[in-house]
Amino acid sequence: MEPLAQDKIDAIVAMPVESLQKISEGGFGVTYKLNFEGKAYLRKDIRFYDSFTKWSYHTEVKYLKHASSHPAYAFVQSTPYFYGSAIKGEFGYIVEEVLYGTTLDTVLDKRFLTEEEADFIIQTLDYYISHVFHRLLKTLHLDIKPENIFLRMHHNKIIQVVLLDLGISRTVGEYGIPSGTAAYLHENTLKAMRAQAPIVHTSDLNNHALRRTTNFIYGAVAPEAAIEMLFPAALTPRPWEHDITTSLTNALCFATLLDSKIFISYLLNIPEVNINGVSSEGKTALTVAKENGDAETVTYLTEHGAQKGGRQERVRSGSGKRKTRRRNGSKRKTHSHI
């Protein structure tokens, strides 16, 4: 994947809104889906109402570009792909990948999660935040919450997790005035924000928000028979994925990277998943397991792959009972992505 040339970004920005499909509208602007030269893109039109909105726009551009251009993005696509940006007068524009699915917030409001889905979402978020953002990107997301966690889905099954909205992100250790969503902020951060006092931004801020989000996820776990139909459509491949089979193989390879046996089993029960399928990077799940020196997962993949189509053994790490209480609260707006 490559960013678009600036003249192409300018051409997308110049497209009249009447010719675009409005996806959502919020306090920070309007999001549209469009087709340009035969491909789908998402355009965010952000009006600079004040200095904070302008700062947030530049922050979003900075960290989306940083994430998309990092070598790790070839293996772990934790954010939407960033194609480019432009400023025209009092508006800032961001052009990025269109994602198909829905947000975790919508799922928590409208249906339960299977145990496999809950464990996988939490494992993925922990990997994204601790390894990709903190260690590789040296970046703090700082607005982790269900509304900013996007779920790619295939016939109502959760396949991949993507983090949205990097508009208040910071570099690890950066000093400045904090901002964020009050319900997910640490008490000390809340005090500093209300006083407009600067703080040193550390990984603890993300970790606290992740713990809050984890509580909501585990509170929505229910038996598979209780899972309502929310997103019946087939998975839509991301721009670098050749077809659905490649998308599912990428998901299987990532689950293998995480050593998430419970989710590997979950994926192997999907008819289109092929244990010998090749990912966008030319790897199979077995290749990933072998490269990691994970003999146990190699054996697990081989045995369960041979049983594909039958009833899989439920394997989970850790212990502890899952809550089955759904999160209370009013329904949220669906995110700007499809």
Tell whether 269 and 284 lie within a shared domain.
yes
* pLDDT recorded at residue 319: 36
Instruction: Between 25 and 160, name the one with better pLDDT.
Output: 160
Please report whether residue 320 resides in a domain. no
Say if residue 332's pLDDT is above 60.
Answer: no
Mean pLDDT of the chain: 89
42, 73, 96 - which closes a domain: 96
Name the most confidently modeled range: 212-216, 317-321, 327-331: 212-216
- Judged against a pLDDT cut of 90, whether residue 99 lies above it is answered with yes
Q: Domain with 13 in it: what CATH number?
A: 3.30.200.20
In a domain, 35, yes or no: yes
Percent of the chain surpassing pLDDT 70: 90
Question: Do residues 326 and 129 touch, judged by C-beta distance below 8 A?
Answer: no
Range of the domain at 29: 6-96
Domain match, 257 and 198 both? no
Lowest pLDDT segment from 256-265, 281-290, 308-317: 308-317
Mean pLDDT of 226-233: 93
Predicted local distance difference test score (pLDDT) of residue 171: 97
Crossing angle (nearest 10°) for helices 261-268 and 295-306: 20
Both 121 and 216 in a single domain? yes
Mark whether 50 and 36 lie in a shared domain: yes
111 and 91 inside one domain: no
Q: How confident is the model at residue 69 (pLDDT cuts 50, 70, 90)?
A: very high
Of 163, 114, 112, the C-alpha closest to 140 is: 163
79: in domain: yes
Tokens of 154: 């295939």
- One domain, residues 108 and 214: yes
pLDDT at 316 over 50: no
What's this model's pTM, rounded to 2 decimal places? 0.88
CATH number, domain of 156, equals: 1.10.510.10
Q: Is residue 316 domain-resident?
A: no
Burial of 243 (0-12, 13-18, 19+ CB in 10 A): exposed
Instruction: Note whether 19 and 111 are same-domain residues.
Output: no
Mean pLDDT of 240-260: 94
User: What is the DSSP pairing of strand 29-36 with strand 82-88?
Assistant: unpaired
Which of 226, 257, 273 is the C-terminal boundary of a domain? 226
Structural domain total, the chain: 3
Residue 25 has a pLDDT of: 87
- 217 and 260 inside one domain: no
